[in-house]
Amino acid sequence: MRHPRMLDTLTGRWGAAWRDAAASAAAAAIAWLLAVWLFGHQRPVFAAVTAIVCLAPGLPSHGRQAVGLMLGVATGIVAGDLVLLLLPQEVLLPHGLSLLRVVFATFFAILLGASFGQPPVVPIQAGVSAMLVLAMGPETAGIVRLADVSVGVGVGLLFSQVLLTPDPLQIIDKAADDFLRRIEDGLKRAQQAAQRQDSAQADAALGLFSNAHASLAALSTAIENARHSTRWSVRGRLSAQLVDAAVARYDRGATRLFARSLLLAEALSRGLENAREQIPDGLAQRIAELAQRCADVLAGRPVAPGEPLPARLPDDLSWRQALDHLGAMEGLLADLGPMQPAGQGTSTFIAR
């Protein structure tokens, strides 16, 4: 059992990383060749390494990583040069690379890098660059390295901003679809619970709704990544308005839908366990229709607004709450449905 699971885990991780790995390999080779051609550097390792750091898998924003790396390298070189200038060698320990210089250069480089309020790559690269200036000298790790890093950053930006920029709308829609499928599965189980009047099935529906939390967290991450894309990529900027509209649809509505689904399952479970009053007529059918609304949203079909509550509400509080949560979820799913035209005579819709 353990080996198939491990293989599935590795396969999933490889599937998520292979595109960035291929882009990193190609960008490293191109950055190496460009540094040789432009500057005549015999071994432009820093150019290739920079391209890899910019395009490595798992980064929320490759463009922001590239800009932060360049800023960190420049900060570290300046800090290292200042330490070499202000702390003469004869004042320090005569053991090759001075420990005092290492302490001062690393401390001030990281402190300066952190002052920009950018991602961790900035202070990390600042500290590393300051160390390299002390170890290799400003001639090798100063302007020469900055030139190589500039080439690597340029190639990384070319790949991340132009050639391989993901569609921010697809990032959001893929995560939203996974979330809605989990909600749909929970509703189908809740419909079975109401139809069979089985509290165990209601508890199972509550478990399915609870499992949707991971998909909700993934949707929140996708929204943040899409927002980063609109600020740090050319493709993102071109689709910024559509991304803002998609974010407006899912940002709060998905969280409310998740909360209402949990409350619905809890009310259904309490009503079936207490059995003080017979389950309202048509409740199972209404839950089934709600599951169909999820399917309609997933398919990009229009979703009708929620139905009004019955004229006569049940006496049991649990059933009244269940009907209230059903109505709220119907309205939320209607809001998550396809966008209407963006203006008179236009046909601008959120792509799904």
The number of residues making up the chain comes to: 352
Tokens representing residue 312 in the block: 């006569």
Assign 117 to helix, strand or coil. Answer: coil
- Torsions phi, psi of 93, nearest 5? -65, 130
Furthest CA-CA distance within the chain: 92
C-alpha dist (Å) from residue 228 to 7, 105, 283: 32, 32, 43
* Cβ atoms of 21 and 120 closer than 8 Å: no
Question: Which strand (E) or helix (H) includes residue 39?
Answer: helix 2-39
Gap between the terminal Cα atoms of the chain:
37
Token code pair at residue 278: 């017979």
pLDDT in tens, the chain (352 residues): 456 677 777 777 787 778 888 888 898 899 999 988 988 888 888 788 888 888 877 776 677 788 888 888 888 888 888 887 777 655 545 555 577 778 888 898 899 888 888 888 889 988 888 888 877 776 666 677 778 888 888 888 888 777 777 778 888 888 899 999 999 999 999 999 999 988 899 999 999 999 999 999 989 888 887 887 777 677 777 788 888 888 888 888 899 999 999 999 999 998 888 766 678 888 889 999 999 989 988 888 877 666 665 655 566 778 888 888 988 998 888 888 764 433 333 222 333 4
Predicted TM-score of the model (pTM): 0.62
pLDDT of amino acid 244: 85
Of residues 186, 352, 175, the one with CA closest to residue 264: 186
**Tens of pLDDT along 129-148?**
888 887 777 666 667 777 88
